[in-house]
Structure 1
Amino acid sequence: MSTSDTASVKPPLEDAADTNSNENDEDGPVLKSRPSIFKLLTLARPEWPVLALAFVIMLGAESTGLLNPIFVARAYDALIDAQLDKGQRLDEINQTMVLVVCIHCAGVVAGFARASLMGIVGERVVGRVRNQLFASILKQEIAFFDTHKSGELVSRLGSDTTLLQQGTSQALPEVLLGVTKTVVAVSLMFWLSPKLAGVSLGSVIVIMSCCFPFGTWIGKLSRSYQDVLGKAQASSTEALGAMRTVQSFAAEEREKKRYEDVIGKINTWWPKLEPRTTYSVGFRKSIVGSAFYVIIFGAGFGALYVSLWYGFTLVNDGEMTLGELTAFQSYIFTIGASLGQTSRFITQLIEAQGASGRVFYLLDRIPLIPAPILQDKDVNQDGDADEESNKHIGVSKEPLRPKEMVGAISFRNVSFAYPSRPDIRVLVDFSLRVEPNSTVALVGASGAGKSTVVALLQRFYEVCAGSISIDGNDIRQLDLQWLRSHIGYVQQEPQLFGMTVRDNVTYGLDRDVTDSELDEVCRKANAFEFIQKFPKGYQTMVGERGVRLSGGQKQRLAIARSLLVDPRILLLDEATSALDAESEHLVQEAINKAVVGRTVVIVAHRLSTIKNASQIVVIDDHRLVDVGTHDILMERCVKYKDLIKRQSIVRPIM
């Protein structure tokens, strides 16, 4: 390839991509807006009325419950009041304690109601977020999955959403509860003794101001911990999904070490922060969290004793009764316990806030494949737009959904580089016209760009230059769902799901399929016979990724699945490469029947499969070299003849 060919090609919207975070970045995602508690609360917007009810219940119960120390103080004062006789003191104590017990029982019932409502809210929120998050991930462009490991995305769906659940249904209510208790207790303390309350409140303010830096620190460590946890999950998911390969290469120890490298050296009592591992980051998170808790809890009770010291002097001076000091002491204990408990839940809330950043990044991320773009000129909904009109791309309008697809394909001066490798051109100035109902075979050395042509035709990626049209309409004008529903795709490595044979063959269809339809396509794909040998037939479970089937069986099911869609365009990316000679011959005959009446694009390394193609396209060094039939290319194309020679074909070309 010449120097000019290797020049950098910047994919469209790359600048837009830079504004979004790559979650593989070591420092975590760069968000459009900083995650906040208020944004976290938007996740529970439909539950706001229930949250408000729970908060009112909490506010009423806690406010009323905090009156108990004042009533108990009355009992204390009555007990030591010399002006009351024994019977009067007992009556006063009984009346007061009955009220205290009633308030306590009401508080227990209210606490149950509040906890139940919050639990239900948490389950609803996490369920909704997981659904929305999975839907958002599914709509991302293929380039997104080239740079984001599936294990990391699974971690977002699992651990991050769990943190959000804990944040919205546990941490946030408990923090609000702690704040409510503190505010009410402080108010009652000022009512009992403004002097003593001023001293106590000053101590609390000093303690809280010293703890603010810990919140930021814990937040950073929590985000870092979730990032390395995602990498650990990606490593384990990848290994477990390829256990046959791992064991066939006796690579168990290698995978174990790779996973341990992400977890970290757990035998070290003071691990280094770099490289970041779950242990090194989690170690520091635990230390900082413990320090945060100790400072609030320990210093809070330290302030309690100082306040009591001053309180005793006020009692001695006659400015407070002993019962009032007892009530005041109870409120100080309440504040100390609330601050200690709140500190733990603040840590959880900060973790949830960090998790919300990663979740909102995925929820808010706009796929880099843009909305369909229409031309300045009107496009014929029947697909009769002229070629000249395709040169002018205008303002985005409604995506096109033509009444039918004819199957005419046109590549015009297409250049392309994968977004993950923008400096390497995969196609250069590629132009090709495919007539409807014809069969075109793409041949060339491995890595020449054949499979890329197939990927671009399905608009998995956006071209860097040029255009691709179907029936005269630029594919960027077409509704993506409509486009892909008219294209059948059989890839080199068939992808099956852990469902039944029937579910896999009918995958993607939004209608019921009759048994006769199913039998017909399976016979065409040479799959009917082996399916009938299964004890449960079409109801046989194929296992994860079709692990219970042979390679040839999986490939034939994938072919049957594609034929059942009855596509106008059929893409075969080495569709017969996994079959033995007999199955290949039978499936090839079936495909020859299936291609009648539709446009077919075949990617072939095994040249014996493409002799009868209407056109054979030779691709070399990412450029189209020649186009013609087998006989014509054998006469004039040196590159094609070299490919035939290197194949060392023993069997006659079919």
Structure 2
Amino acid sequence: MRVKLSLPAAPVVTFHHVGALISGRDSGWPCPRQAATTPLLPDILGRQCPAAEHWHPVGTEPDIAVDPYGNCRTQKVILAYLRSSHGRHGSSLLRAVAQLRSQLRAHLLQAPPAPRQRPSAWRWVGGILLGPVVWSKCPRLGLVALCEAEEAPPACSRPHVGESRFNWKLFWQFLRPHLLVLGAAIVLALGAALVNVQIPLLLGQLVEIVAKYTRDHVGSFLTESRHLSTYLLILYGVQGLLTFGYLVLLSRIGERMAVDMRRALFSNLLQQDIAFFDAKKTGQLVSRLTTDVQEFKSSFKLVISQGLRSCTQVAGCLGSLSVLCPRLTLLLLLATPPLVGVGTLMGSALRQLSRQCQEQVARATGVADEALGNIRTVRAFAMEHREEERYGAELEESRCKAEELGRGIALFQGLSNIAFNCMVLGTLFIGGSLVAGQQLTGGDLMSFLVASQTVQRSMANLSVLFGQVVRGLSAGARVFEYMTLSPCIPLSGGCCVPREHLRGAITFHNVSFSYPCRPGFPVLRDFTLTLPPGKIVALVGQSGGGKTTVASLLERFYDPTAGVVTLDGRDLRTLDPSWLRGQVIGFISQEPVLFGTTIMENIRFGKLGATDEEVYAAAREASAHEFITSFPEGYNTLVGERGATLSGGQKQRLAIARALIKQPAVLILDEATSALDSESERVVQEALDRASAGRTVLVIAHRLSTVRGAHHIVVMAHGQVCEVGTHEELLKKGGLYAELIRRQALDAPAPEVPRGPRNRHPRS
């Protein structure tokens, strides 16, 4: 029996056509006959697969006129179906293919293993047995891969950062505006290096003049050496001016590039999705903005100032040495590589110690930052002494590592001095012998000594510079890595609805969602909800039910994994995110975040360019004007870091004013009163009631007493809607909402006991 695949709402094709599709050709690759005649497929799909109603034997469904090997039209039909296979048909097809895959795996494992006695014979037997199976299953396994690829989530659903590699193209974009200044700096650095190469030769000539005259020829010596000494003094001055010039230019280039890089990196980080920040720590991002940019800037400046200069000096001085005395130059070249190798090994160990020391200092700094940032908690538990001990222990460990690093540096410097002094002594001994044999003059020996010292210093600088360049390239790669990231949800782009046409109707259509950092754990499953315009809809349920996730999807911090969220019938993905968040939706969270500036600027943060009168009006609407004006400086009062100088209720009312100043059509209240005491809750609730008038409001609450007046109460559990109705209707049902009411009534404190601030509930 030939078997064919009947695709709903699409022509029926056989696995011959799938074989042609997988082969990538219209014809010329005939599928084996077994691919169409094997009884395995109808057995699997007819008796075991839940999607068997979509598979039929030949003759029960209309066929498609194609050649036996499939053609381009058939391939397009299959691909079009696979790309559109979602919902019931797509999942049924995947279940069928998954069942087919498991059966094929079991079938393939039945091939006998090759015994060790006759490997060559069993190789032929295995080929004969496995050949037809492999040829018959390849097209179907290819279909499995195609279906799974079509059902895979989009590539941008999770922020992925590949391996860090230095982006030379991006580096060129930052360097290009400074090419003229960089060229001038390079010319000055080369000039300083060439001047430095000439100095040893002039010193040798001066020594020749000194050796030529005795005390009886003082006048002649001064006369003859005056010109050379003046020329040497001029060279020293020129060298100093050139060094000053290229260092100033390099500093200018480096600082401006660092500013440009930090600005570009910060701008790109601000554009990333919320999912990106879920996966990254703030400290890591700040480190890239500060430490990595600084490391790269320092390396760039050193490459030009030290690297270019040292390379030029090594090349020039080696040429001078070979001209002065080839024999001594050969001995110097033979002795230098072992010394450089040992120095490189020791330098690598010292760099590792240096990194460990820096990491330990960072840990000590982290302990201090944590203690000072949580000083209220430390003070509340009288743990000052414990924090002192923790910080002292980290400092002691830092001291030990720093002392170990100091001993290593001292050993390196000591051995370096011994090695260089031995080279000087050897040069003097051998050079003195050559001078005694009149094969070398005293002035040439002096020039050789100075030039060889210049070579040694330059090579030592290059050895140290190599490690710095490696660290700089690594830091630059980390910086450029985040500059090239593209957000899955752009900050802008899309259509905007005129305010007079905006009603504020919100609908969630069969929405499913998993956080990108946890793709295998769905938070919402086929979630459907309608927020009528101008009505208050409350979401209640136990923690972890997905309530805050609903608010995040409405703000379009994330896009649904499946389904769609609409505003007045328009898909949120077609709207401008900046317009949506900046003008349509006002968001008030459980933990309001204030900036360390004035009250005026914190409220104006909701609408840049708002007048003072608009700020005052928003504050009055949020019941914040009275306590603001009670401060000596009024609206110019500094609130401290994260609003540390304000109470919880005051911070919440400022957050309400900040949300209301832009006059949003939709208001999201994410447990806005759950962390407040009863008096603060009453004041804030009154402000929220006034703010909700005439707006579409989504209320997320743990305290069910705050949602009694909502037009609709939606009870959520396990990412789905369980119950919908008013307070009275849900109580009559006696379901989950009634159970939650009963639990909160049992947990409520006795009336005669003063009510303090409630514990903060975890967010959904």
Q: Shorter-chain TM-score category?
A: 0.7 to 0.9
Partner residue in 1 for 2:35: none
Residue type of the alignment partner of 2:612: D
Q: Secondary structure of 1:571's partner?
A: strand
**Alignment-derived partner of residue 63 in structure 2:** none
Name the CA distance, whole Å, in 1 between partners of 2:339 and 2:170.
Answer: 28
Which ranges of structure 1 fall in alignment gaps of 5 or more residues? Answer: 1-8, 21-29, 270-278, 374-397
Q: How many residue pairs align between the two structures?
A: 594
Matched, 1:249 2:381: yes
Q: Is the 8 A contact 1:293 1:340 kept in 2?
A: no
Pairs within 5 Å for 1:101-116: 101-116=233-248
2:632 counterpart SS class? coil
Name the amino acid aligned to 1:47. Answer: H
Match of 1:320 among 433, 440, 445: 440
Q: CA deviation at 1:643?
A: 1.5
Change (3 A) 1:265 1:87: closer
Contact 1:441 1:603 in 2 (8 A): yes
Counterparts of 1:10 and 1:451, CA distance in 2: 26
Deviation at 1:355, TM superposition (A): 2.8
Q: Output the CA distance in 2 between the equivalents of 1:190 and 1:95.
A: 27
One-letter code aligned to 2:494: P
Which of 342, 365, 372 does residue 240 from structure 1 map onto? 372
Correspondence list, 1:463-474, <5 A: 463-474=560-571
Contact 1:494 1:554 in 2 (8 A): yes
Find out whether 1:518 has 2:638 as its counterpart: no
Q: CA separation of 1:529/1:204 partners in 2, compared to 1, >3 Å: closer, same or farther?
A: same
Pick from 555, 558, 563: which aligns with 2:655? 558
Give the match for residue 438 of structure 1: 535
- 1:178 to 1:223, Cα distance in 2 relative to 1, 3 A: same
The answer as to whether partners of 2:587 and 2:667 remain within 8 angstroms in 1 is yes
Report if the CA contact (8 A) 2:340-2:463 is conserved. no
- The verdict on how the C-alpha distance between 1:16 and 1:427 changes in structure 2, with shifts beyond 3 A counting, is closer
Do structure 1's residue 127 and structure 2's residue 222 form an aligned pair? Answer: no
Question: Is the CA contact 1:172–1:349 (under 8 Å) kept in the aligned structure 2?
Answer: no
Q: What is the Cα deviation at residue 479 of structure 1?
A: 2.9
Q: Match for residue 452 of structure 1?
A: 549
SS at match of 1:443: strand
170, 176, 201: which one aligns with 2:333:
201
Q: Which amino acid aligns with 1:49?
A: L
Distance 1:249 1:349 in 2: 48
State the one-letter code of the partner of 2:200.
Answer: P
Partner residue, 1:335: 455
Q: Does 485-494 or 411-420 show the bigger shift?
A: 411-420
2-structure distance, mates of 1:520, 1:213: 69
1:361-420 Cα deviation digits (max 9, x unpaired): 3333334x34489xxxxxxxxxxxxxxxxxxxxxxxx53344455422222222233334
Q: Is the 8 A contact 1:415 1:428 kept in 2?
A: yes
Percent identity between the two aligned chains: 36
- Structure 2 residue identity aligned to 1:178: S
Structure 2 CA distance for aligned equivalents of residues 148 and 247 of structure 1: 31
Could you say which residue in structure 2 is the equivalent of 1:497? Answer: 595
C-alpha offsets along residues 294-322 of structure 1, whole Å, 9 cap, x if unaligned? 77665455444444444334434434321
> How far apart, CA to CA, are the structure 1 residues paired with 2:632 and 2:209?
85
Deviation per residue, 1:582-637 (Å, 9 max, x gap): 55444434433332343211111112222222221101123211222222222225
Q: Does 1:352 align with 2:472?
A: yes
Which of 511, 527, 552 in structure 1 is aligned with 2:624? 527
Task: Map Cα deviations across residues 468-493 of structure 1 (whole Å, 9 max, x no partner).
Answer: 22233333333322221121111001
> Cα distance 1:153–1:331, how it changes in 2: closer, same or farther (>3 A)?
same
Max radius of gyration: which structure? 2
Report 1:118-517 matches (<5 A). Answer: 118-170=250-302, 172-208=304-340, 236-252=368-384, 255=387, 265-266=397-398, 279=401, 299-300=419-420, 302-367=422-487, 369-371=488-490, 399-404=494-499, 405-485=502-582, 486-511=584-609, 513-517=610-614
Alignment-derived partner of residue 710 in structure 2: 613
C-alpha displacement of 1:330? 0.6
Q: Which has the higher helix share?
A: 2
* Distance in 2 of aligned mates of 1:355 and 1:616: 52
Corresponding residue of 2:32: none
Closer/same/farther in 2, CA of residues 357 and 636 from structure 1, 3 Å limit:
same
- Give unmatched runs, 5+ long, in structure 2: 1-150, 752-764
Structure 2 length-normalised TM: 0.70
Q: Is the 8 A contact 1:526 1:586 kept in 2?
A: yes
SS at match of 1:617: strand
Match of 2:382, SS state, is: coil
Structure 1 residue 342: Cα displacement = 4.2
**Aligned counterparts of 1:72 and 1:288: Cα–Cα separation in 2:** 36
The code of the aligned residue for 1:333 comes to: Q
> Which amino acid letter does the alignment assign opposite residue 492 of structure 1?
Q
Cα offsets for 1:4-43 (capped at 9, x unmatched) = xxxxx997547864544xxxxxxxxx41x2588x987875
Counterpart in the other structure of 1:379? none
TM-superposed deviation, 1:194 = 3.3
Q: Deviations over 1:410-457 (max 9, x none)?
A: 222222333344443322221212222222111111222211211222
Greater length-normalized contact order (CA 8 Å, ≥ 6 residues apart): 1
Asked if the contact 1:409/1:471 (under 8 Å) is kept, the reply is: yes
Separation of aligned partners in 2, 1:219 and 1:432: 59
Q: State the superposition RMSD in angstroms.
A: 3.6
